[in-house]
Amino acid sequence: MDQRKHADHRWSTRQPITFPVKLFRGGEPIGQGRAHNVGIGGMFVELGSHRIPADAPLSVAFTVDVNGMTTHHRLPATVIWEGDRGAGLMFTDFNVDTVHALREILYPASAAS
């Protein structure tokens, strides 16, 4: 799907940060890339030549380093759109740990308080 034609359903502000991610489908690794434009509700993942079809359910895994502590996270997501450079993902399951992990990445100063 052409990202310019896709309706924007974001419910949180995106931050221009980047970090490595791994993608899984059905528990099996399907690729890796770099997250960009990250928000509480989703992210853009730059994938290079790897393509993932729209509406595909998957998990996105990443590591967060904050205040000397390293935590690992794997969040369920759905591909909302895909293009030549990557895919737009929407997170599909939220719990306290998910929101806290995303806040650590997006707002490190406020997550420590």
Domain ranges of the chain: 26-111
The CB-based long-range contact list for 13-21 (8 Å cut-off, 24+ gap) reads 13/39, 14/38, 14/39, 14/43, 15/39, 15/105, 15/106, 17/105, 17/106, 19/62, 19/63, 19/105, 20/62, 20/63, 21/45, 21/60, 21/61, 21/62
pLDDT tens-digit readout, 23-39: 999 889 998 999 988 88
Q: pLDDT over 70 for what percent of the chain?
A: 84
Confidence of residue 95 (pLDDT cuts 50, 70, 90): confident
> What pLDDT score was predicted for residue 65?
77
Query: How crowded is residue 26: how many other Cβ atoms within 10 Å of its Cβ?
Result: 8
Q: Which letter does DSSP use for residue 5 in this model? A: G
- In eight-state DSSP terms, residue 82 is E
Note the CATH number of domain 26-111. 2.40.10.220
Instruction: Return mean pLDDT, the chain.
Output: 81
Structure pTM?
0.78
Residue 5 pLDDT > 50: no
Q: How confident is the model at residue 2 (pLDDT cuts 50, 70, 90)?
A: very low
